[in-house]
Structure 1
Amino acid sequence: MEENYKHDVAISFARADRNIALCIYLALKLRMPESKAYYYPNKQAEMIGRNLKGELKEIYRHKSKYVILIVSKDYVNKNNALVQTEINAFMPRYLMEKSVYLIPIIVDGTATEEVHEELEGITTFKWNYNPEELAILIQELVGSWEEKIDKELLEKNKEQSEKVVINNSSFDKSPIITDGGTININY
C-alpha cells in the first residue's frame, strides 16, 4: 500500500550546516520542481506558536517519505536538542522499515554510527560541494517524482477519457464538446 506523505523528503541538519542543507534543498527543487521538500527555515512561519519538538517528530517519522541527514561533528553533538529530537523521531521508523528511508550525507568524515549505533554500515554520500550532482544521485535513488506525477496524471486522464457521461448519455473514448452539442469520436 502506497503511503501518502506530506513531504517527499525532509532535510535534517545542525544549524552550522544550514548552508549545505540550503544548497541541497535548492538543487533538489531545481532538479525536481514538483517535489515537496521540508527545509525548516522555509517553514518557520507555519511553526510559530506550535510545539516544535512535537511537529518535528511527526515530520521526520510519519510525514516524510525520505530523510536526508547532513552528518557532521555539529550534527552528532548531543547538546543539540532539535537534532536529537529529529534523530529520535526517524530512528524507530528506520529500524522497523526494510526499504530505503534515510539518505546520509557525510560532511566532515563523521561516521554515521555517531548519529546512532544502528546506522553503522548504511550507505552514504560524501559531500563534495556539488549539490547538483548530489541531487542527481538522490533523484536516481528515490526515483523521479516528476515521472511518478506524470504517470499518475496519465492514468487519471486515461480513466476519465474512457467513458464520459453527459446529460445521461454515455460516450466511449473522448467526445468533442462544441457550442452546438457533442460529437462522439470512436476509435
Structure 2
Amino acid sequence: MKYYEYEVAFSFAGEDRELVDEIADLLRKSNIRVFYDMYETVSLWGKDLYTHLDEIYRNKSKYCVMFISEHYKQKVWTNHERESAQARSFVEKVEYILPIRLDDTEIPGIRSTTGYIDGTLFNASDIAGFIKSKVRGF
C-alpha cells in the first residue's frame, strides 16, 4: 500500500473557511494527516505555490476533499487544485476526489453522477466522521 504524506488534502474557497477549519481541527485531533493551508504556513512560505500545490493534489494525498460552492468555482487557486486532483483521478481511475457540496454550483469535470456529501445537511462533526471513515476504510 502506498504511503501518502497527507491522508486528505482540502480544496476550498476562503469564504468557506469557517466550516473547513472546524473539520480540519476535528480530523487533526483524530490523528488524520490533513493538508490544510493554515497548518502549513511555514512550510508554504517562500515556495513556488503553483508547483508545490500541484504536487500535493496530484501525488501526496490519499484523498482530495473539495468543498464545492459558488465561491469555489470563481477562484483561481481552487481551479488549479481541482485540475491537479482531476489529473490524478483520471490517470488512476480510483475514488480520489470526495466532493462536499455547499450549494448547487456545477464544477467543470465533477459529474453529477459522482457521489457527494451534501454539506447543507450535516454539521462539521458529521462530515469529519465521514472523512475519517473513508480514510480509515471503515
Partner of 2:12: 13
Structure 1 residue ranges (4+ consecutive) displaced by more than 4 angstroms after TM superposition: none
Partner of 1:40: 37
Q: Give the 3-state SS of the residue equivalent to 1:9 in structure 2.
A: strand
Q: CA deviation at 1:68?
A: 0.5
In the alignment of these two chains, the number of paired residues is 137
Partner of 1:109: 104
Partner of 2:135: 142
Q: Aligned residues: percent identity? A: 28
- Bigger Rg over Cα: 1
Give 5+ residue unaligned stretches, structure 1.
Answer: 148-187
Partner of 2:87: 92
Amino acid at match of 2:40: K
Q: CA deviation at 1:63?
A: 0.5
Q: CA deviation at 1:117?
A: 3.0
Q: CA deviation at 1:107?
A: 0.6
Amino acid at match of 2:5: K
Q: Does 1:60 align with 2:50?
A: no
* Shift in CA distance, 39/118, structure 1 to aligned 2, threshold 3 Å: closer
- Does structure 1 conserve the Cα–Cα contact (< 8 Å) formed by 2:86 and 2:109? no
Cα separation, 1, equivalents of 2:128 and 2:96? 16
Q: Does 1:119 align with 2:116?
A: no
Cα separation, 1, equivalents of 2:68 and 2:79? 12
Q: Deviations over 1:19-47 (max 9, x none)?
A: 111111112123x22x2101012212111
Q: Does 1:72 align with 2:65?
A: no
Cα separation, 2, equivalents of 1:130 and 1:7? 23
Q: CA deviation at 1:124?
A: 0.3
- Does structure 2 conserve the Cα–Cα contact (< 8 Å) formed by 1:6 and 1:63? yes
Q: Give the 3-state SS of the residue equivalent to 1:120 in structure 2.
A: coil
- Does structure 2 conserve the Cα–Cα contact (< 8 Å) formed by 1:87 and 1:115? no
Amino acid at match of 2:34: A
1:168-187 aligned within 5 A: none
CA RMSD of aligned residues (A): 1.7
- Does structure 2 conserve the Cα–Cα contact (< 8 Å) formed by 1:28 and 1:132? no
Cα separation, 2, equivalents of 1:142 and 1:62? 16
* Shift in CA distance, 89/101, structure 1 to aligned 2, threshold 3 Å: same
Q: CA deviation at 1:118?
A: 4.8
* Shift in CA distance, 90/17, structure 1 to aligned 2, threshold 3 Å: same
Give 5+ residue unaligned stretches, structure 2.
Answer: none
